[in-house]
Amino acid sequence: MKIKEILISENYGDSVVVKGWVRTKRTSKNVAFIALNDGSTIHNVQVVVDLNDISEETIQDVTTGASVAIEGVMIESPGSGQHVEINARKIEVLGKADPEKYPLQPKKHSLEFLREKAHLRFRTNTFGAITRVRHAMIFAIHQFFNDKGFYNIHTPIITGSDAEGAGEMFRVTTLDLDNLPRKEDGTINYEEDFFGKETNLTVSGQLEAELAALAMGEVYTFGPTFRAENSNTSRHLAEFWMIEPEMAFYDIHDDMDLAEEMLKYLIRYALKHCLDDLNFLSKRLQEEEKNKKQEDRAPMELIEKLNFVLENKFERITYTQAIEILMNSKPNKKKKFQFPVDKWGIDMQSEHERYLVEKHFQKPVIVTDYPKEIKAFYMKVNEDGKTVRAMDVLFPQIGEIIGGSQREEKYDVLLKRMHEMSVPEKELWWYLETRKFGTVPHAGFGLGFERLMLFVTGMGNIRDVIPFPRTPQNAEF
């Protein structure tokens, strides 16, 4: 029986078998208490062992980290903290964990230490909670779109194109790097490569999702994406998961409405289905906050923060308005920003995004209509010819959580944009064809799944909300 089920059961007297990993063992004269966890819940079940019934040899091997199968009887717990516990009749140690060597002894470990023990960190309360919340969010995303009649599309992971045009791609090749085939002019002959051309890991499934949307109406992809940007921050991964809905007949306003509805749905889902884990994460965070200076502390605890986002409509402003606010802001005038805001046209940095959200509006903000120079080629050009119909959703502590836009559906304008931005037209002939045959206004966005996880769990570093993070100089496990 799963511990989660045992803990809500009142079938006192029933026999059960539980299997899991020992968190702690306390021994007194004639009894031992084992706290057992099996991953099904943040809570442990208490197993009471009468030392007259179980051999000394066995109980000696029941140490933190060991795996056990325990047969026993559910009884009403006389102790506080739980209403049911298990009286052990038989204990089988499935796998010992040498106390001299097992790294996760029951004491506080730093997140940095646990990153080096990513193969074992699932066994901590924190990573158990994060793993369950992560699962719930994946499930909720599919639920959300399924309920709305969207189709899930698997877009390719190996591609020949650069969807974002940013050139931050990982090469995929089977060529012998020590002995590359060359053409007469000395350049590498990719015709001899596996696919007969240059290929890479995808940075986004959007372009292929657009193809599907232009027949199926409303679709979404949810897959791994890869970026070889060398940004070693607490918000960037080289391999992350992205949710990308793409909708025919949507304009940018419909796009923003969907983004806001989706984020609120996911947060509400977490509050409803993961409250035990969120309460644990909130307490953990509050402990951490105590070590910070007053002015660096988060203004709200986790659950309060999540509810706050649910209760408030996201502020919607244009890039031009955002720049005006930033230029006139105190930190800008006092030269507190690392990147000063001095003119229209600059790319907003995370510090600027967070100022707008955390200080100025004090709620999530959607910024629209960015200068076309700082956005991707596929975004629809506005009538002013200077800005594009982009929309970025900015969240407290995170900055950009969603990036999206209405797409350029006009063939001529799109082709011109591709030329302007040096996007190879030849490689994207299929993308261009959708604008030749039955093109329609359409829009979509990308939600960074780990950024969502950061927000929902309140964790501070993106390396801690994905089981096995990939970052520059790090691909262990």
Q: Which residues contribute to the site for ligand 4AD (CB under 6 A)?
A: 163-164, 204, 206, 227, 236-237, 240, 242, 244, 400-405, 444-446, 448, 450-451
Q: Which residue in 169, 148, 143 sits closest to 158, CA to CA?
A: 169
Quote the least distance from Cβ 163 to ligand 4AD, whole Å. 6
Query: How many residues of this chain bind Mg ion (CB under 5 A)?
Result: 1
Nearer to ligand 4AD, 74 or 259 (CB): 259
User: Is residue 448 close enough to count as binding Mg ion by CB under 5 A?
Assistant: no
Which residue, 153 or 237, is less far from ligand 4AD as judged by CB? 237
| Min dist. Cβ of residue 19 to Mg ion (A) | 45
User: Which partner, ligand 4AD, Mg ion, none, binds residue 72 by CB below 5 to 8 Å per kind?
Assistant: none
Q: Closer to ligand 4AD at the Cβ: 237 or 252?
A: 237
The interface region with Mg ion, picked from 20-28, 181-189, 205-213, 403-411 by CB under 5 A, is 403-411
Give the nearest distance from C-beta 448 to Mg ion in angstroms.
9
Shortest distance in whole angstroms from residue 227 CB to ligand 4AD: 5
**Shortest Cβ 113–ligand 4AD spacing (Å):** 23
446 binds, among Mg ion, ligand 4AD, none (CB under 5 to 8 A by kind): ligand 4AD
Least distance CB 398 / ligand 4AD (angstroms): 8
User: Which of ligand 4AD, Mg ion, none has residue 237 at its interface (CB below 5 to 8 Å by kind)?
Assistant: ligand 4AD
Question: Which partner, Mg ion, ligand 4AD, none, binds residue 47 by CB below 5 to 8 Å per kind?
Answer: none
The residue of the chain with the least Cβ separation from Mg ion equals: 403
Q: Under the criterion CB under 5 A, does residue 444 sit at the interface with Mg ion?
A: no
The one segment of 145-153, 282-290, 351-359, 402-410 that binds Mg ion by CB under 5 A:
402-410
Tell whether residue 403 is a contact of Mg ion (CB under 5 A). yes
Minimal distance, residue 450 CB to ligand 4AD, in Å: 5
Interface positions with Mg ion (CB under 5 A)? 403
